[in-house]
Amino acid sequence: MYKVGLIRVVTQQPPLLEAHADILKKAYPMLDITSRCIEGQSDGVHDKESENLAIPKIISLARQFYEDGMEAVIISCAGDPALDVLRADLPIPVIGAGRSCASAAAGSKGLIGVIGITEGAPPAFREILGDRIVDDTLPEGVICTLDLLTEKGRQSVLARAMSQKQMGAEAIAFACTGLSTIGIAPYIEESVGVPVFDAVLCEGAFACLALSNHVYKE
Amino acid sequence: MYKVGLIRVVTQQPPLLEAHADILKKAYPMLDITSRCIEGQSDGVHDKESENLAIPKIISLARQFYEDGMEAVIISCAGDPALDVLRADLPIPVIGAGRSCASAAAGSKGLIGVIGITEGAPPAFREILGDRIVDDTLPEGVICTLDLLTEKGRQSVLARAMSQKQMGAEAIAFACTGLSTIGIAPYIEESVGVPVFDAVLCEGAFACLALSNHVYKE
């Protein structure tokens, strides 16, 4: 088992606090995950202001996880806030949902639709996927992660995915981990018929990869 | 446990046949792997001729794995021979070592050194990493996967990695799964000081990812 600290960038109490950890424990049973969230941001990170507010809190939580003996830290946000700073700062792997999802999607062929909650795809998606992003406009009526929890939010995401397929997308990448919280990936795959890269499942796969080198030292 | 069929593109008997499966089972315990290899190619796939010879054999093994009830197939070769054909042909995930390794490496920052056994990086590396490849010249004296098993081969790979770092590489991606067989990734990380993307560990992470969507349906 790998001890992994997971940072939620929306202020939540259990059981919602554990939403991403619950997904990851089922998908990757070797991850032993402890979840903590930033304080005072009940609508999460969804624009530059909320991101700037979150960054010092994320850095503090990550350092705490390292001091507590975690073997890796996951920043469970597609904007990858504080990722570069923490990668330079900590001697353990630091995984961001955005870089993980964008690079996993880079392995698919053709154009890619990006669905998130920010105006324009987050930095890792633009950097890694570049011209392959066919569309990154917001689902109608979705401004923050909480909007995804409503039935209207779900329908809006499905409609966006269908539009992106019609625009030529051969795969869809999630640029918000709130889309993992609502578990919509398999519904898009079934109803729209394209593979979906789910940001939480991708961060888990990259955490496993980052921790797997030990096999050669046993 | 996920039932996964793994195709070796070098003709081998147990226990060498199981070399990649042994690595993957340790790294990703939820993978239940069955290994099979192509026949009549004891020096593996290392140029266009050997690749063309291997492709129909790989297609046949992959179809057999599907008929046997495997949930995914891994083509454990960085050249990704037959990958596109099989992805179009089979209704289960088909994972290639090359695409997995190149896309995992795409998530790192800066220039990337590619180390393999073919003249020029394999297609997935050129397609996904493009201009970020700082060097893909062969380790001296290495022509096929068997050369990696010698002490001279190991030293030659370490020297190539050191040169690539001096050329500006901030990460190294393996373009041959034979480099996994010899378990050299952590030695490069220690002696050269850059992160290494190991093609077998990457194919395992992508297999786990491809099979993980089920968590939303439980």
Q: What is the CATH number of the domain that holds A40?
A: 3.40.50.1860
Comparing A47-56, A124-133, B122-131, B209-218, which segment has the lowest mean pLDDT?
B209-218
* pLDDT at res. A56: 98
Are B79 and B124 part of one and the same domain?
Answer: no
* A1-42 residue pLDDT tens: 999 999 999 999 999 999 999 999 999 999 999 999 999 999
Q: Which of A59-68, A136-145, A153-162, B155-164 has the lowest mean pLDDT?
A: A136-145
Interface residue B198 vs chain A (CB under 8 A): yes
Residues A105 and A66 in one domain: no
What confidence score (pLDDT) does residue B2 get? 95
Q: Could you tell me which chain B residue has the CA closest to the CA of A31?
A: B28
The whole-number pLDDT of residue A142 equals 79
Residue A186 at interface with chain B, using a CB cutoff of 8 Å: yes
Residue of A nearest to B126 (CA): A107
* One domain, residues B14 and B65: yes
Reported as a pLDDT band with limits 50, 70 and 90, residue B144 is confident
pLDDT number for residue B30:
94
Q: Show residues of chain A in contact with B206, CB under 8 Å.
A: 104, 107, 205
Summarize the confidence of residues A177-199 as an average pLDDT: 94
Mean pLDDT of A157-184: 95
pLDDT bin (cut points 50, 70, 90) of residue B26 is very high
Calculate what percentage of chain A has a pLDDT beyond 90. 84
B86 and B133 both lie in a single domain: no
> Are B83 and B138 within one domain?
no
CA neighbor of A114 nearest in space, from A74, A151, A153, A165: A165
B92 & B123 share domain: no
Q: Which residue has the higher pLDDT, A151 or A57?
A: A57
Residue B205 sits at the chain A interface (C-beta within 8 Å) = yes
Residue-level pLDDT at A108: 94
Report yes or no: B116 at the A interface, CB cutoff 8 Å: no
Report chain A residues whose CB lies below 8 A from the CB of B102: 106-107
Q: Helices B199-211 and B97-106, interaxial angle, to 10°? A: 90
Confidence of residue A68 (pLDDT cuts 50, 70, 90): very high
Q: How far apart are CA B151 and CA B138, in angstroms?
A: 16
* Distance of residue B182 Cα from the nearest chain A Cα, in angstroms: 9
Residues B116 and B70 in one domain: no
Q: Which domain holds residue A90?
A: 2-96+201-217
What average pLDDT does the structure give for chain A? 94
Task: For residues A195 and A213, state if they share a domain.
Answer: no
| Mean predicted confidence (pLDDT) in B84-95 | 97
- Report the amino acid identity of residue B67: E
Contact assignment for B186 to A23 by CB distance below 8 Å: no
- Phi, psi (deg, nearest 5) at residue A124: -60, -35
Contacts of A192 by beta carbon, 8 Å cutoff, 6+ apart: A158, A161, A162, A165, A172
Residues A66 and A86 in one domain: yes
Same domain, A109 and A121: yes
Query: B91 and B14 share a domain?
Result: yes
Give CA angle at A214 (A211, A216), nearest 5°.
140
Please give the pLDDT value at position B143: 77
Of the partner residues A102, A205, A213, the one whose CB lies closest to the CB of residue B208: A205
| Whether residues B54 and B11 fall in one domain | yes
B205 token code pair: 């992470």
Q: Residue A169: pLDDT band by 50, 70, 90 thresholds?
A: very high
pLDDT tens-digit series, residues B46-86: 889 999 999 999 999 999 999 999 999 999 999 999 999 99
pLDDT at position A213 is: 83
Q: Note the pLDDT tens digit of each residue in B174-188.
A: 999 999 999 999 999
Residues pairing with A3 in the sheet: A32
A170 and A107 Cβ atoms separated by less than 8 Å: no
Banded model confidence at residue A172, pLDDT cuts 50, 70, 90: very high
B161 token code pair: 């990695």
C-alpha distance from B136 to closest chain A C-alpha (Å): 19
- What residues in A contact B84, CB-CB < 8 Å? 109
Identify the pLDDT of residue A69. Answer: 98
Q: How confident is the model at residue B148 (pLDDT cuts 50, 70, 90)?
A: confident
Q: How many CA atoms lie within 13 A of A52 on its CB side?
A: 3
**Residue-wise pLDDT tens digits, A96-112:** 999 999 999 999 999 99
- The ipTM, to two decimals, is 0.94
Instruction: Say how many domains are in chain B.
Output: 2
Q: What is the per-residue pLDDT for B213? A: 83
